[in-house]
Amino acid sequence: MRRDVAFKTLCVTFLTLGIATGVMISTGPQASFAAPSATTKAAAPGPSEHTVKAGPVRVDVKLGGTFEAVKMTEVAYEGKALKSLKVVKCVDHGTRVKKGDVLIEADMEPVDHAIEAKVAANEAGALALAAAVEELRRMEETAPQALAKLIEADRRSAEDAEYSKTISRPLAIKAANQELQNRINYLEYAKEELRQLKKMYEADDLTEETEEIVLKRQQHAVQRYTLALEQARVSTERTLDTDLPRKVADSAKARRTSTENLASQKVLLPLALAQKRLAVAKAKLDHAKAVKDLADMKADRARMTIKAPLAGIVYYGQCKRGKWSASAALLAKLAPRGVISANEVVMTIVDPSALVVHASAAEKDLHNLRAGLLGRAVPAGYPTLKLKVETTPVLTVPQPDGLYAVKLNVITASARIMPGMTCSVTLTAYENKKALTVPSRAVRGDPADADKKIVHVKTASGPEKRPVKVGRTVGGKTEILSGLAEGDVVLLKGAK
């Protein structure tokens, strides 16, 4: 009887040790087993009970990561006026440099030509600005004078129009009529004088040669006055019907033109002056910008000799969470005669003395991750190295690839590890060295309360249903936080 009890106890002990060993298995490839052949005997049925003992339980999370330097400075040509540079020489990737060492040498010949052209353009611009300033000064003096002249001209135009209307035109009409009347009178006087001469000479019944001459002269005078009268009638008609109306129309037109010109110039002269002021202000801004651009070009020329901002190792490209962006296109830019654009990050200086690890976790592992978890990082190139790491706060916003960023501080560093190297990270998410565990199949849901768990405990009086509080489940074993004690025997099957 004692031998049977001892044998059973030994079997239970071996089973417990095997299960406890399985609890420590972390996530990874599962072992596969071949199905038994027809000739293989059926396996013996498993035990029907389990004795509760204390043992270790540990949950590990495995991640792949990349080392990144804590201290690194991006290098770019910080040009403002000159938007690119042509490479003459560049340090190699992986070169260890000191602060102030030359990283990139540029071709300065086209830069110097551009600066010379800018200097000449700025000198011409300064002369043009001086001329514009003088033109503005002169315009500010002459514009009020020009406006005053227009006002005076308009006043005189109004006076002339009024004089023409009230004095000049009526007088011209009167003079024209009077001139016509004078011609009529002159003709009548000549005719009357001729008639009197003829009457006088006829009374004497004598016509001497002298008298004949006098009569002919008077007859000629009558003819002249007759023609003069005819001309006077035509002239008067022309004056009254054409010339005076035209003068009136011209005077009215001149008056309107003067008024309109004054009104227009009252608007245009201030506008022209304002435009000139704006043009001069813009010219000053343009010249100031040109002067600044020249200063920027000279400063850019100095920046084109790119030097190391700190001591460290040269990495081509830009680092994003441990991954480097160096491409064939970037390598071509850094080769001789390559062209680098302004503000384009072309290399990074890293200090490898302090490192972090960037990793990515699947969503299923989030519940096991938190800040302060300790673990180890094993570099892919140095598998015997075990570097101690600690997690920082986990970013719970998914990345574009659906994974979650995990950053770990490297506590124990190694001089052999360089930024960009990869590693495998193992984090201990949970560990209890004295956990009470039972096979997971021994834990059942409470029929009376689905949120509670129960086990069936073997007692002297028979199976006893006992509520338990469970913890982690690992490798087919479930941690019991309360409800059982070491040495209790739980039933694995047969209990109802």
332 and 418, same domain (yes or no): yes
Kindly state whether residue 19 falls inside one of the protein's structural domains. Answer: no
Alpha helix locations (H) across 59-168? 109-163
Q: Which of 399, 434, 469 is the last residue of a domain?
A: 434
In a domain, 364, yes or no: yes
User: What is the C-alpha separation between 471 and 12, in angstroms, rounded?
Assistant: 23
> Do 318 and 418 fall into the same domain?
yes
Residues 6+ apart with CB under 8 A from 201: 207, 211, 215
pLDDT at 387 over 80: yes
Greatest Cα-to-Cα distance within the chain, rounded to the nearest angstrom = 213
Q: In this structure, is residue 20 part of a structural domain?
A: no
Is residue 219 assigned to a domain?
yes
Which percentage of the chain shows pLDDT scores above 90?
54
393-414 pLDDT per residue, tens: 988 899 998 999 999 999 988 8
Q: Can you give the pLDDT at residue 20?
A: 37
Higher pLDDT, 357 or 212: 357
Instruction: State both tokens at 447.
Output: 């029929």
Same structural domain, 153 and 257: yes
Q: What six digits make up the tokens of 306?
A: 């790119």
What's the one-letter identity of residue 390? E
Pairing of strands 374-379, 387-391: antiparallel
191/198 Cα distance (integer angstroms): 11
Residue 44 has pLDDT above 60, yes or no: no
Residues 25-44 have a mean pLDDT of 37
* Distance between first and last Cα of the chain: 29
Judged by average pLDDT, the poorest of 35-39, 114-118, 256-260, 396-400 is: 35-39
Q: Which are the contacts of 29, defined by CB distance < 8 A and separation ≥ 6?
A: none
Are 79 and 153 contained in the same domain?
A: no
State mean pLDDT over 182-190. 86
Helix (H, G, I), strand (E, B) or coil at 32: coil
Q: How many CB atoms lie within 10 A of CB 472?
A: 19
Q: What CA–CA distance (Å, rounded) separates 477 from 440?
A: 5
The more confident residue out of 458 and 2 is: 458
* pLDDT at residue 6 greater than cutoff 90: no
Residue 260 shares a structural domain with residue 340: no
pLDDT at 26 over 70: no
Beta strand ranges found along 362-461 (DSSP E):
374-379, 387-391, 404-410, 422-439, 444-446, 449-459
Domain with 185, as residue range(s), is: 113-300
Cα–Cα distance, 315 to 309 (Å, whole number): 13
Is there a domain that residue 330 lies in? yes
Name the least confident of 30-44, 347-361, 463-477: 30-44
Cα dihedral sign, 4-5-10-11: positive
According to the model, what pLDDT value does residue 375 have?
A: 94
The CATH number of the domain holding residue 277 is 1.10.287
pLDDT at 195: 84
| Predicted local confidence at residue 196, as pLDDT | 84
Cβ pair 339, 86 in contact under 8 A: yes
Q: Are 23 and 58 in contact (CB under 8 A)?
A: yes
CATH code of the domain containing 60: 2.40.30.170
Residue 442 is assigned to a structural domain of this protein: no
The verdict on 202 and 262 lying in the same domain is: yes
Q: Decide which of 135 and 154 is more confident.
A: 135
pTM above 0.85, yes or no: no
Q: What is the DSSP string of 291-326?
A: HHHHHHHHHHHHHTSEE-SSSEEEEES-EETTEE--
Highest mean pLDDT among 24-38, 186-200, 212-226, 338-352: 338-352
Q: Which residues pair with residue 468 across a beta bridge?
A: 453
How does pLDDT run across 189-240, given as a tens digit for each residue?
A: 888 888 887 787 776 655 566 777 887 888 888 888 888 888 888 888 888 8
Residues 6+ apart with CB under 8 A from 286: 125
For residue 72, tell me if it sits in a domain: yes
Quick one: what percent of the chain has pLDDT higher than 70? 89
**Residue 104 pairs with which residues in a beta bridge?**
90, 306
CA–centroid distance for 452 within its chain: 58
Q: Which residues pair with 68 in a beta bridge?
A: 356
In DSSP notation, 353-374 reads: EEEEEEEEE-GGGGGG--TT-E
Instruction: Please state the rounded mean pLDDT for residues 111-127.
Output: 96
Share the mean pLDDT of the chain.
85
Q: Domain boundary residue among 300, 335, 356? A: 300
Residues in a beta bridge with 87: 106
Instruction: Please check whether residues 145 and 235 belong to one and the same domain.
Output: yes
**Number of H-type helices and E-type strands within the chain:** 6, 20
**Does residue 324 share a domain with residue 285?**
no
Buried b (16+ CB within 10 A) or exposed e, 59-95: bbbebebbbbbeebeebbbebebbeebbbeebbeeeb
Read off the pLDDT of each residue in 170-186 and give the average, rounded to a whole number. 85
Write the pLDDT tens digit of every residue in 363-372. Answer: 999 999 999 9
Orientation angle between helical segments 169-204 and 209-238, nearest 10 degrees: 160
Specify whether 173 is located in the same domain as 72.
Answer: no
pLDDT at 228: 84
Which of 417, 434, 451 is the last residue in one of the domains? 434
User: Rounded to whole angstroms, what are the CA distances from 60 to 23, 425, 431, 476?
Assistant: 11, 10, 9, 15
- For residues 350 and 289, membership in a common domain is answered with no
Tokens of 183: 């011609």
Task: Encode pLDDT of 296-330 as tens digits.
Answer: 999 999 999 999 999 999 999 998 888 888 788 99
Distances (CA, A) of 457 to 17, 438, 475: 20, 11, 22
pLDDT value at 28 more than 80: no
| C-alpha closest to that of 435 among 94, 15, 124, 19 | 19
Pair 340, 254 in one domain: no
DSSP symbol at 40: S
Angle at 249 between CA 245 and CA 251, to 5 degrees: 115
Are 64 and 207 in a shared domain? no
User: What secondary structure letter does DSSP report for 239?
Assistant: I
Q: How many domains does the chain have?
A: 2
Is residue 352 domain-resident? yes
What torsion do the CA atoms of 350, 354, 360, 363 make, to the nearest 10 degrees?
-140
